[in-house]
């Protein structure tokens, strides 16, 4: 033993939970939705997802090499971004579109703002919106081998009827990973059980949306419409996996509930009054922009200053 020991400030022990473990769990939690998507839409979907992930990881590594920064690709956060973006792609999009968006997500939305933790917008969603604006024809074309025609929500908007059971299971058109409510919620339960995410944002989001939709859609609280709205248009994927993204949500408890309510209202407005009937991505992105404000106004009170009970 050496004479001089290493010293450092307290505490001297650390929990085993690390950033990369959390990110890996998120990847695992997205697997049911991914596998379902591939099964639902075919191998082309799988290639899209894999290439998008690869592009994100590579973009991060190359950026960090060029900028001579510490390599952080091993923290799995780029994998999560790539996977989320991949799941948000239309099943029949050309194979270059996803990776292109992935590079945008990493370089523009994430790294230029300072890398993990410093981005103010969810990179996958930012990239998706970028793609929708740049390639509207590709990004809104949900025709593929398995399904043709409009997505269920567009059908409802047009007054057609849809099969709710298929929607809940995910046997419908849509983006690769958004269709199956069952698979998404199963993955989300895994994260909730591990304590990685909790229900504050998803629940306040969904409840607010349902109330808003019930009041303003003209369909009232008809279970048929409500379940179709919940199962379709990526609401579940958005509420459980994108709105809960640590970096771009408020960090305070009350802030998270406020955030969920805002997302619910925005999604409601977009779906009821907007043209497209989807709107989850836009709602979350706008919500992301409001986060600094929400956090500022919901800073907790300290112990002994009234904040000891929450």
Partner 1 sequence: MGKLTFTGGIHPYDGKDLSKDKPICDILPGEELVYPLSQHIGAPATPIVAKGDTVLRGQKIAEASGFVSSNIFSTVSGTVKSIEPRRVVTGDMVSCIIITNDGLYNEVNYDAYDEIDVDNLSKEDIIQRIKEAGIVGMGGAGFPTHVKLSPKEPDKIEYCIANCAECEPYLTSDYRRMIENPEMLIEGLKCVLRLFDNAKGILAVEDNKPDCIELLKKLTKDEPRILVKALKTKYPQGSERQLIFATTKRAINSKMLPADVGCVVNNVDTLCAIYNAVWNGKPLMERIVTVTGDAIAEPKNYRVHIGMSYKELIDAAGGFVKDPAKIISGGPMMGFALFNTDVPTTKTASALLALTKDEASKYEPTPCINCGMCLEVCPGRVMPKVLAECAEHADYEKFEKMGGLECCECGCCSYICPAKRHLTQSIKSARKIVLANKKKAGK
For the bound state, the minimum distance from the C-beta of residue 72 to partner 1, rounded and expressed in Å, comes to: 7
Cis status of the peptide bond prior to 11, with omega within 30 of 0: yes
Among 15, 148, 158, 275, contact with partner 1 (rule: CB under 8 A): 15
Whose Cβ is closer to partner 1: residue 12's or residue 148's?
12
For the bound state, the minimum distance from the C-beta of residue 111 to partner 1, rounded and expressed in Å, comes to: 12
Sequential DSSP letters for 117-147: TT-SS-HHHHHHHHHHHH-HHHHT----SS-
Among 26, 109, 111, 116, contact with partner 1 (rule: CB under 8 A): 116
Outline where the chain has alpha helix (H): 19-41, 43-66, 77-87, 97-103, 123-134, 136-139, 152-157, 164-169, 181-194, 200-216, 223-231, 235-237, 253-273, 280-297
For the bound state, the minimum distance from the C-beta of residue 258 to partner 1, rounded and expressed in Å, comes to: 14
Cα–Cα dist 284/281, whole Å: 5
Considering CB under 8 A, how many residues would be counted as binding partner 1? 44
User: Near partner 1 by CB under 8 A, which window of 7-15, 171-179, 208-216, 280-288?
Assistant: 7-15
User: Near partner 1 by CB under 8 A, which window of 45-53, 112-120, 122-130, 174-182?
Assistant: 112-120
252 binds partner 1 (CB under 8 A): yes
223 binds partner 1 (CB under 8 A): no
110 binds partner 1 (CB under 8 A): no
Cα–Cα dist 79/94, whole Å: 20
275 binds partner 1 (CB under 8 A): no
Sequential DSSP letters for 205-260: HHHHHHHHHHHHSSSTT-HHHHHHHHHSTTHHHIIIIITT-GGGS-SSHHHHHHHH
Q: What are the Cα distances from residue 70, in Å, to 6, 24, 61, 168, 310?
A: 25, 20, 9, 43, 39
Among 69, 94, 117, 141, contact with partner 1 (rule: CB under 8 A): 117
Among 5, 66, 137, 193, contact with partner 1 (rule: CB under 8 A): 5
For the bound state, the minimum distance from the C-beta of residue 113 to partner 1, rounded and expressed in Å, comes to: 11
Q: Which residues bind partner 1 (CB under 8 A)?
A: 1, 3-15, 17-19, 21-22, 72, 75, 77, 115-118, 246-249, 251-253, 299-305, 307-310
């Amino acid at each position: 033993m050496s004479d001089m020991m290493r010293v450092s400030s307290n505490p001297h022990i650390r929990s085993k939970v690390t950033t990369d473990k959390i990110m890996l769990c998120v990847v695992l939690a997205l697997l049911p939705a991914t596998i379902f998507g591939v099964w639902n839409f075919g191998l082309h979907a799988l290639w899209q997802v894999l290439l998008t992930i690869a592009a994100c990881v590579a973009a991060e590594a190359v950026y960090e090499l060029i900028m001579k920064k510490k390599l952080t690709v091993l923290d799995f956060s780029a994998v999560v971004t790539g996977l989320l973006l991949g799941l948000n792609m239309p099943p029949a999009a050309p194979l270059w579109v996803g990776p292109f968006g992935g590079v945008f997500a990493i370089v523009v939305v994430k790294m230029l703002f300072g890398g993990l933790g410093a981005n103010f917008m969810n990179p996958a969603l930012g990239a998706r919106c970028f793609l929708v604006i740049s390639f509207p024809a590709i990004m809104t074309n949900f025709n593929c081998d398995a399904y043709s025609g409009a997505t269920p929500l567009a059908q409802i908007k047009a007054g057609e009827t849809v099969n709710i059971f298929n929607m809940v299971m995910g046997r419908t058109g849509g983006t690769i990973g958004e269709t199956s409510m069952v698979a998404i919620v199963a993955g989300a339960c895994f994260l909730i059980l591990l304590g990685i995410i909790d229900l504050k944002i998803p629940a306040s989001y969904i409840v607010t949306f349902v109330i808003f939709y019930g009041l303003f859609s003209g369909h009232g609280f008809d279970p048929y419409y409500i379940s179709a709205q919940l199962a379709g248009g990526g609401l579940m994927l958005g509420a459980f996996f994108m709105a809960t993204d640590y970096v771009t949500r408020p960090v305070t408890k009350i802030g998270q509930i406020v955030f969920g309510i805002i997302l619910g209202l925005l999604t409601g407005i977009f779906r009821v009054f907007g043209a497209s009937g989807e709107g989850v991505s836009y709602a979350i992105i706008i919500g992301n922009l409001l986060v600094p404000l929400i956090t500022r106004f919901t800073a907790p009170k300290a112990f002994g200053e009234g904040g000891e009970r929450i």
